Structure 1
């Protein structure tokens, strides 16, 4: 489907209805989600004006926040969005994801609560369709030294080996660690493999004199039957 020309552009909207005009007069904060997206879309195909395309985008995503999960293929499903525009929108969403992630990492967070781990990883796991496993290397005050991806595309049979987790903790001079992995299904309930690897990591940490503070399974609050969005092995009494 081709990106269209002027038939769906801002030119065909009344001046007071043009999002760009409203933004110039009142600032970006005065615009609705659909109006902001309409500025990004700029034009639609014949018979599909920008506001209709933008409103349909929000409706399908559920909210503007959920758009960070969208792929190029998702954007192309919309009437009025062609390949080039889909690539541009996907790039914008990736920029938004990275900005959120970098902002969170710049904050001096003390990782003393599993919910903080959940919020740290939320923008990272959005849209991931395979399991990733991370270790947060912490100092004596539980401040983050570094977040390290250990493995990805994990098979259920074996999540991760202890040496893959604790080698970077030792290398970075960490005193403590928190491990985390995502469940693409959105349900963070631990599997038998999750329990097994947590026990292995707990015993290895004792041997290495490293404090393993928690293993947090990251899910999606909206898809979690418990409505929490994550599972903490520490809170569950398994660490």
Structure 2
């Protein structure tokens, strides 16, 4: 349709469609239009046009969520303010999905439980993140601690970085979790060596390492479930 969104029939405007038919009636481009609010006065493109351009460039909302502000700003008409709004909205959605699945004092019962939480957090990350979940004597989650960011090696995933917070929280056990940005959760030699080293340190300190879970794209590896313990 030619002209700005305000010139469109009321039933076709994203905001009015949302009020009348609900959010399910909106396309991905229309949802993005509501987030970025205004079009580009220079090119004359509407907010929906910009939403379509973003989706054409990145393919889908999931890939868009993983884009940086700089990458978003490469789309003509999408400046820092619009890019920041997009990043904030998609991050809130990711946090809602993540936070509802794993809560403090929830009891750990299976590796699938950890995967269901972390695959929302990790699925669009381009770097490796190594986390430790601290548990009490009844395997209830006390809290999570980020140990490192970046490619894993024994200098940054050191036993003291894992077990210092465990000691401070009086944790009885820990679960190790990290992601593989490649999408393939198969453990590397470095993963195996770090896991062995941390298990040995935990045994000495009386803090059990219950499992190491590697999160990939749509799948995961549990060291315990795979018999690697």
Deviates more, 1:52-61 or 1:176-185: 52-61
Residue of structure 2 aligned with 1:41, choices 36, 48, 52: 36
Deviation at 1:147, TM superposition (A): 0.2
SS of aligned partner of 2:70: helix
Considering only aligned residues, what root-mean-square deviation do their CA atoms show, in Å? 2.5
Query: Within 5 A, what are the aligned runs for 1:1-239?
Result: 9-45=4-40, 46-106=43-103, 109-156=106-153, 158=155, 160-221=157-218, 228=219, 230-239=220-229
Q: Is the 8 A contact 2:176 2:212 kept in 1?
A: yes
Deviation at 1:192, TM superposition (A): 0.8
Q: Distance in 1 between the 2:108 and 2:3 partners?
A: 49
Deviation at 1:25, TM superposition (A): 1.5
CA deviations over 1:195-226 (Å, ceiling 9, x no partner): 011111122222222221111112222xxxxx
SS of aligned partner of 1:184: coil
Q: Is the 8 A contact 2:132 2:147 kept in 1?
A: yes
Q: Is the 8 A contact 1:133 1:151 kept in 2?
A: yes
Q: Distance in 2 between the 1:8 and 1:192 partners?
A: 59
SS of aligned partner of 2:145: strand
Unmatched segments (≥5 aa) in structure 2 = none
SS of aligned partner of 2:209: strand
In structure 2, what is the equivalent of residue 4 of structure 1? Answer: none
SS of aligned partner of 1:187: coil
Q: Label 1:88 to 1:118 Cα distance change in 2 as closer, same or farther (>3 A).
A: same
Deviation at 1:153, TM superposition (A): 2.5
Unmatched segments (≥5 aa) in structure 1 = 1-6, 222-227
Q: Label 1:98 to 1:189 Cα distance change in 2 as closer, same or farther (>3 A).
A: same
| TM-score normalized by the length of structure 1 | 0.82
| TM-score normalized by the length of structure 2 | 0.85
Deviation at 1:31, TM superposition (A): 2.2
